[in-house]
Amino acid sequence: MDRGTWNLEPGTWNLEPGTSNTQVSFEGFGRQIRRTVTTSYTRFLTLILTAGILFGTVAETWAQDEYAFHIARIKYGGGGDWYGDETSLVELLRFAREHTLLNVAPKEDVVELTSDKLFGYPYVYLTGHGNVRFTEEEAERLRRYLIGGGFLHIDDNYGLDRHIRREMKKVFPELEFVELPFSHPIYHVHFDFPNGLPKIHQHDGKPPQGFGLIHEGRLVVFYSYESDLGDGWELPSVHDNPPEKRRAALEMGTNILTYAMIRPPDQLLP
């Protein structure tokens, strides 16, 4: 596969702290599109509106929060360690809060796919080493969440691949994972990764790959494979990663989180 081609040229997203608004510039198809996205985050409000319509108490709870949004880790069945890399998301959120304007809560929540709270999160994270099982109801609700505007980041912690591919077929039987080219905005939305995902842990020695599920032109699932970003996000004492590897993992994680919040204009919901 030619990973270097994509219809959208990498753009420049100014998310540096110290400005009242987040100025988004994106060049694609020979034109420049400029959008201003305030720190209230339009996509998050869309999800909250949806949650408010479906589950009024969820929206009421979130409206009283001091943070613009929360993220969540998915607790799934099947016996796999959904809780793997326990400090990873806290460390990623700390880094993202320091290096962007994202007003995200400093600790992730834990959510089950059967919970109404799922629809209040603009970004959910799934990781582990082993088996994953979605019930029919869970698969249907995850599909509804993703089609409705949510975003799922799957992070292979080694040994997850065959299980998660099987279960995501329950969610989107009509879709296949496609490898994203290095020019995709997710690799350039804030920090620049001209060669795609960084390699954090060796595992089988395969190159890291970023796969996506694209529904009606919108990336709804990003799957980081053979990279193990979560290990890189954890405290340095946990895996003894070199500082440059940990920094790369945190920067890539920040890109994914940022992308989930403010998609390139051609991938925004209609």
Q: What is the pLDDT of residue 223?
A: 98
Domain count, the chain: 1
Mean pLDDT of the chain: 79
Q: What is the pLDDT of residue 171?
A: 98
CATH assignment of the domain containing 124: 3.40.50.12140
Going by C-beta distance under 8 Å and a sequence separation of 6 or more, which residues neighbour residue 237? none
Residue 1 forms part of a structural domain:
no
The pLDDT tens digits for 14-39 are: 444 443 333 333 333 222 223 333 33
Task: Kindly report the pTM of this predicted structure.
Answer: 0.78
The pLDDT tens digits for 201-238 are: 766 778 999 999 999 999 999 999 998 899 899 988 77
Check whether 77 has a pLDDT greater than 60.
yes
Residue 4 forms part of a structural domain:
no
Residue 26 forms part of a structural domain:
yes
Residue 160 forms part of a structural domain:
yes
Residue type, 212: G
Buried/exposed 53-78: b ≥16 CB within 10 Å, e otherwise? eebeebbeebeeeeebbbbbbbebee
Tell me the residue range of the domain where 210 lies: 12-267
Place 9 in a pLDDT band, splitting at 50, 70 and 90. Answer: very low
Residue 3 forms part of a structural domain:
no
Residue 2 forms part of a structural domain:
no
Distances (CA, A) of 37 to 15, 41, 152, 199: 10, 6, 22, 32
Residue 223 forms part of a structural domain:
yes
Residue 6 forms part of a structural domain:
no
